[in-house]
Structure 1
Amino acid sequence: MPKSKVRKKTVYTPPSSDRTTTPVKLAGPTHPVYIAVMLGMMLIGLAWLVVNYLAGNSIPFMATLGPWNFLIGFSLIVIGLLMTMRWR
């Protein structure tokens, strides 16, 4: 059986570092007011839904809103949850 030819491998040379690197600006921690608003939105939304379930018919403006109370409560919760994506 014939022997295969041995190929010489070229020596690895790392690419030259001609690129200029720009430093990335690191964002600091989130302001405490942002965190308070974020948690406040979620808690207000939860409280809105709880009050709607427990005493929605006896509160005049909540009784006139009817099923819109669910949209208001869940919207406040979702806004608070969306704010968590920007929290550092």
Structure 2
Amino acid sequence: MARTRPTTKPEPQRQSGDSVPNPIWFKPVMFGFILIGLVWILIFYISGSQLPIQSIQAWNLAIGFGIMLVGFLMMTRWR
């Protein structure tokens, strides 16, 4: 008596260009960076250049824009 094997379809192999969905934490982290950078800049302007870090003065703007830039760079990888 011959044994029959169950026929299964082989899984298609993914190409490197296939879009794989992002993990669940990606969107909140991305928008979090953008909002934290925006809040950093707003606090700097509203406080009259006294906050968040008084000793670095206008570099607070660079820090705020840098944090926002991380969020915007993450946005290019959002699927």
TM-score using structure 2 length: 0.71
TM-score using structure 1 length: 0.64
Question: What percent of counterpart residues are identical?
Answer: 32
Aligned to 1:40: 32
Work out which of the two has the higher radius of gyration on C-alpha atoms and give 1 or 2: 1
Aligned to 2:8: none
Residue 73 (str. 1) matches residue 64 (str. 2): yes
What count of residue pairs does the alignment treat as equivalent?
Answer: 65
Specify which of 26, 31, 36 is matched with residue 23 of structure 2.
Answer: 31
Gaps of 5+ in 1: 1-21
Note the alpha carbon deviations across 1:32-58, whole angstroms, 9 max, x for none. 21111111000000000000001142x
Q: Find runs of 4+ consecutive structure 1 residues off by over 2 angstroms.
A: 22-28
Give the letter aligned to residue 15 of structure 2. Answer: V
